[in-house]
Structure 1
Amino acid sequence: MVPNALIETASRPYRAAGRFAWHFASAKLRLDPFFAHLLAHELIPDGARILDLGCGQGLLAAWLVGAHAWHRHDAGRAWPARWPAPPMPRSIHGIDLTPRDVDRARIALQAHESCVRFVCGDIRVAPFPQADVVIACDVLHYVDANAQESILRRVHACLDAGGVLLLRISDAAAGWRASLDRAVDFGVQVARSGRTSGLTVRSEAQWLTLLGDLRFQVTIRPMGHGTHHANRLLIARPAG
């Protein structure tokens, strides 16, 4: 179980960005298993340069910075016993299309602007810096199939040797659970940005074929439970 104090530490900076930003951060960090999974399974190395595609209001950065600070102060009595020490990234570069979310991210993480940067831009065309870890959590289904392939090609090019892409997707072949995921994502899209573009979804097998064609080696992990059982985390490493 994720300690409440860790969630509170990571979401507290969003108070400065408004009640919505704070409540959204608290709920997302508490309910979405993606964030805890990153720490529990040591998926991000210490000192990594991170590229966060579709970063939203910067929750990944807040989570990693908050976890590192909280562990440093409270590890002896409260850090989950089975979790390794959290990483402290060298840099985090976030890109998101929604100006309001980027503004919230900048306000919340302004104390860390020396190593955390947020850009308002379209991941289909925005420049990608060289990275050790690329995060694409619930974002590629918002662009069309050609753009998905183009983005993944550019991810492959920007990853240094030994780098990794952490890609969370919803398996379109997972029946009603996948349909529910699409409905939720469509609603979130409208609520956060006012955009109503369609979603481009693929089955787990189709994602694996695409990533294989682009010379990634992939490990799959389930990334949901209950109604979100369709979620998968694809851990993709450039094969050459």
Structure 2
Amino acid sequence: MFNANAFVSTARLLKKTLEWPIHKLMPVAIKAMFLPPHNASISNKTWNDEYDSGAWDFLSTTKEVGRYSVIVGYCLHFRPAARILDVGCGTGILARWLSGAAISSYLGIDLSEAAIEKARQSNIQGAEFAVADGTAFKTSQLFDVIVFNEVLYYIRTPEDYLRGFARCLAPGGILVVSMWHHADGINTWKRLRAGFEQLDRVRIVHVPSGLRWDVAVLRPR
């Protein structure tokens, strides 16, 4: 028998759930599930509020160790003594991982002023940080490695985004891309095939949580 009151209660609960600010607690990878593919509508204020609130501090936990280890390993294996550009660097976690490694230079860019301020306060030796929107980033510098660490979810045309940055690669340079393994990420890897050669790719599994990531080394065709 149909219970109208139960139906209404369930509908209200669902509505509240959908309106709940998931961005306050969920990692970027999980958040991507609830956004339209390649959503680029998140405001700079939202990013700043999240970094100020510590919503991204989970990136420094053991859950992320495997993924960052692979990113660093790829950087050092494919391009020793590299000049590295970290696009969407956040608070400079990758820079801390690379601190003391045999690299030539590190530049991290992020559109969040709050994230960059935290990165600079870390005083990571040899690392430079700049507030910059990757979609409009301009530089005369060349880099041996450009890292895109969990950022392509928010780009409407990720293949064009990577192609634009590929102009900043030195001869023989590589792109290192990390994406959480979910439907939109899988489609993005397919979209990148036409313009980029995949030199290597691994899948990292964090067993306790079941989260999976793909990390790949790409080169423009």
* Short-chain TM bin: 0.5 to 0.7
One-letter code aligned to 2:170: D
- Alignment partner of 1:138 is 2:150: yes
Say how many residue pairs are matched.
165
Match of 2:19 in 1: none
Q: Distance in 2 between matches of 1:229 and 1:171?
A: 8
Please give the residue correspondences for 1:7-156 in structure 2 after superposition, counting only pairs within 5 Å. Answer: 24=57, 28=60, 30-32=62-64, 33-39=66-72, 42-43=76-77, 45-65=79-99, 68=100, 87-109=101-123, 112=125, 115-128=126-139, 129-144=141-156, 146=157, 148-156=158-166
The SS at the match of 1:135 is: strand
The SS at the match of 2:120 is: helix
Task: Return closer, same or farther for 1:234/1:54 CA change in 2, 3 Å cut-off.
Answer: same
TM-score (norm: length of structure 1): 0.60
8 Å CA contact 2:198–2:216 kept in 1: the answer is no
Q: Distance in 2 between matches of 1:20 and 1:209?
A: 35
Bigger Cα displacement from structure 2, 207-216 vs 46-55:
207-216
8 Å CA contact 1:62–1:109 kept in 2: the answer is no
- Identity value in percent: 25
The SS at the match of 1:46 is: coil
Q: Deviations over 1:14-72 (max 9, x none)?
A: xxxxx987x938x615331122224556446332100101000111111111xx2xxxx
- Alignment partner of 1:235 is 2:221: no
Q: Distance in 1 between matches of 2:67 and 2:77?
A: 11
Please point out which of 206, 213, 220 is paired with 1:225: 206
Task: Return closer, same or farther for 1:95/1:44 CA change in 2, 3 Å cut-off.
Answer: farther
**More strand, by proportion:** 2
The SS at the match of 1:230 is: strand
Q: Distance in 1 between matches of 2:210 and 2:92?
A: 22
Task: Return closer, same or farther for 1:139/1:59 CA change in 2, 3 Å cut-off.
Answer: same
8 Å CA contact 1:95–1:118 kept in 2: the answer is yes
Match of 2:36 in 1: none
One-letter code aligned to 1:28: S
Q: Deviations over 1:122-147 (max 9, x none)?
A: 11111253110111111110222x2x
Q: Distance in 2 between matches of 1:231 and 1:29?
A: 15
TM-score (norm: length of structure 2): 0.64
Q: Distance in 2 between matches of 1:51 and 1:39?
A: 13
Match of 1:10 in 2: none
Note the residue ranges of structure 1 that are not aligned, 5 or more in a row.
1-18, 69-86, 174-200
Match of 2:182 in 1: 172
The offset of 1:98, in angstroms, is 1.1
Note the residue ranges of structure 2 that are not aligned, 5 or more in a row.
1-51
8 Å CA contact 2:86–2:106 kept in 1: the answer is yes
8 Å CA contact 1:224–1:232 kept in 2: the answer is no
Q: Distance in 1 between matches of 2:88 and 2:210?
A: 20
Task: Return closer, same or farther for 1:216/1:40 CA change in 2, 3 Å cut-off.
Answer: closer
Q: Distance in 1 between matches of 2:212 and 2:91?
A: 24
Task: Return closer, same or farther for 1:217/1:36 CA change in 2, 3 Å cut-off.
Answer: closer
**More helix, by proportion:** 1
Q: State the Cα RMSD in Å.
A: 2.7
Q: Deviations over 1:88-118 (max 9, x none)?
A: 22111111111111001111126x3xx4221
Task: Return closer, same or farther for 1:228/1:124 CA change in 2, 3 Å cut-off.
Answer: farther
